C-alpha cells in the first residue's frame, strides 16, 4: 500500500503554525556567510517547503566592530611588512658602506642590527635619528642648486631634507628653535651626512651668524654661474610666475608695470648706469654677499661650484 502524500496547503491551520515555529532556529552566529545556491528551498519541491531560510545581521553594531577589527589587522600586517622591507634595504646599505671592517677584521661578536620600532613614528630605525645638517647649500638662486643636491643625493652616505626649509632666513621659522629645525631633517645613520638647501641663505644678511650659532664647523656649498646669464634666468622666472598668477577681475598689467618691461629696461637706468637695486642684479653681485660669509666662516669651509661646468661635466 502506497503512502498517502498530503498537500501542505490543506493541513489544519494549528498544525501548520506549530510546524513553522519548529523551523525557527536561533543561530549561534550574528553573520552567516552562505553561497547563493544555499538560498533554494529546503524541500525537493518548492510547493512542499514549509520553512524559509533567512540570512541577515541581528547585531549591526557588533558586525561593524568585527569588520573594523579585520581591516585594522590587515592594515597593521601590511604596515609591519612594509617597515621591515624598508629597514632591510637601509640596513644592507649601512653594512656595505660602514661595516665592511667587520668582515675583513673578524671582529668577535659584531653588533646586531635590531628590528625597527613601529611606534610612535611610522618608520623609525633604532640606529637612525634626525640630525641637524652638517652641510648647507646656501645658493645661488637659478644656478643649479636643485641639480647639485640631487647629484649629491645619489651617494649612499648623503641624506637630504625634503624641500627648502628656510630656517635661517625667515624670522618666523628661526624663532621656532633648533628642535623644530631638527625635526624637519630626515632620519640618517651614524656616518651619513645630512644636507639642507635654501638658496636665499646666501643673500640674507642675518644668515651667516645664525648658521655659526648652530654649528661653527659646518660645511657650505655655493654654486654660481655667469652673473648676467643668472640674472636673465632669474628675470625670466619672475616674469613667468607673474604671468601665470591670477589677477583681480577687470585688472590687467599696465605699460608702466615692472612686469611689462624688458630686462634691459629694468637693469639699466635712463642715464645708462646699471640698476644695482634691481633684485636679479643684486643677487648676481656675488662679491657683496661672499664678503659677508667669509667674515664668519673660513675659506676652507666654503666650496664654490661652477654651475656652467657642472652642466657640461657633472
* pLDDT tens digits for range 64-97: 888 888 888 888 888 788 877 777 776 666 555 5
- How big is the chain, counted in residues? 314
Three-state DSSP state, 241: helix
What is the C-alpha R_g of the chain? 36
Q: Is 59 annotated as a binding residue?
A: no
- Cβ–Cβ under 8 Å, residues 137 and 307: no
pLDDT-derived band at 60 (thresholds 50, 70, 90) equals confident
* pLDDT tens digits for range 7-23: 555 555 555 555 545 55
pLDDT of residue 6: 53
Q: Is 68 annotated as a binding residue?
A: no
Closest C-alpha among 70, 68, 80 to residue 119:
80
pLDDT of residue 21: 52
- Span of 75-84, 143-152, 177-186, 255-264 with lowest mean pLDDT: 255-264
d(CA 275, CA 281): 8
pLDDT of residue 100: 45
Mean pLDDT of the chain: 78
Higher per-residue pLDDT: 273 or 32: 273
d(CA 136, CA 149): 10
Set 99, 127, 142, 184: catalytic member: 142
142 part of the active site? yes
Q: Is 58 annotated as a binding residue?
A: no
- Span of 112-116, 191-195, 257-261 with lowest mean pLDDT: 112-116
* pLDDT tens digits for range 102-131: 344 444 454 444 444 444 445 554 579 999
pLDDT of residue 101: 43
Statement: the pTM of the whole predicted model exceeds 0.75: no
- Cβ–Cβ under 8 Å, residues 236 and 266: no
pLDDT of residue 170: 96
- Cβ–Cβ under 8 Å, residues 275 and 266: yes
Q: Is 225 annotated as a binding residue?
A: yes
Q: What number is the average pLDDT over the span 26-50?
A: 51
Q: What number is the average pLDDT over the span 193-211?
A: 97
- Cβ–Cβ under 8 Å, residues 187 and 117: no
pLDDT of residue 303: 97
d(CA 149, CA 195): 8
- Cβ–Cβ under 8 Å, residues 194 and 275: no
Q: Is 144 annotated as a binding residue?
A: yes
Closest C-alpha among 121, 99, 101 to residue 112:
99
Amino acid at each position: 500500500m502506497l503512502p498517502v502524500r498530503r498537500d501542505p496547503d490543506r493541513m489544519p491551520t494549528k498544525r501548520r503554525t506549530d510546524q513553522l515555529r519548529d523551523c525557527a532556529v536561533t543561530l549561534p552566529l550574528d553573520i552567516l556567510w552562505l553561497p547563493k545556491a544555499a538560498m533554494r528551498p529546503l524541500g525537493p519541491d518548492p510547493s512542499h517547503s514549509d520553512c524559509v531560510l533567512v540570512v541577515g545581521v541581528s547585531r549591526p553594531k557588533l558586525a561593524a566592530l568585527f569588520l573594523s577589527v579585520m581591516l585594522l589587522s590587515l592594515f597593521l600586517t601590511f604596515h609591519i611588512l612594509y617597515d621591515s622591507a624598508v629597514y632591510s634595504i637601509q640596513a644592507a646599505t649601512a653594512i656595505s658602506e660602514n661595516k665592511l671592517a667587520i668582515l675583513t677584521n673578524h671582529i668577535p661578536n659584531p653588533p646586531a642590527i635590531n628590528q625597527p620600532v613601529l611606534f610612535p613614528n611610522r618608520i623609525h630605525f633604532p640606529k637612525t635619528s634626525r640630525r641637524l645638517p652638517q652641510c648647507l647649500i646656501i645658493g645661488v638662486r637659478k644656478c643649479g642648486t636643485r641639480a647639485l643636491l640631487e647629484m649629491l643625493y645619489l651617494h649612499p652616505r648623503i641624506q637630504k631634507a625634503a624641500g627648502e626649509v628656510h630656517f635661517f632666513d625667515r624670522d618666523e621659522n628661526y624663532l621656532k628653535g633648533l628642535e623644530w629645525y631638527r625635526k624637519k631633517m630626515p632620519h640618517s645613520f651614524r656616518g651619513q651626512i645630512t644636507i639642507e638647501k635654501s638658496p636665499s641663505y646666501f643673500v640674507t644678511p642675518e644668515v651667516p651668524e645664525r648658521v655659526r650659532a648652530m654649528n661653527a664647523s659646518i660645511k657650505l656649498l655655493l654654486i654660481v654661474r655667469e652673473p648676467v646669464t643668472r640674472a636673465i634666468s632669474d628675470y625670466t622666472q619672475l616674469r613667468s610666475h607673474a604671468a601665470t598668477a591670477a589677477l583681480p577681475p577687470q585688472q590687467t598689467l599696465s605699460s608702466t608695470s615692472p612686469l611689462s618691461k624688458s630686462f634691459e629696461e629694468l637693469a639699466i637706468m635712463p642715464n645708462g648706469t646699471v640698476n644695482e637695486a634691481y633684485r636679479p642684479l643684486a643677487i648676481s653681485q656675488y662679491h657683496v654677499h661672499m664678503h659677508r660669509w667669509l667674515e664668519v666662516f673660513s675659506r676652507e669651509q666654503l666650496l664654490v661650484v661652477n654651475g656652467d661646468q657642472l652642466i657640461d661635466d657633472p
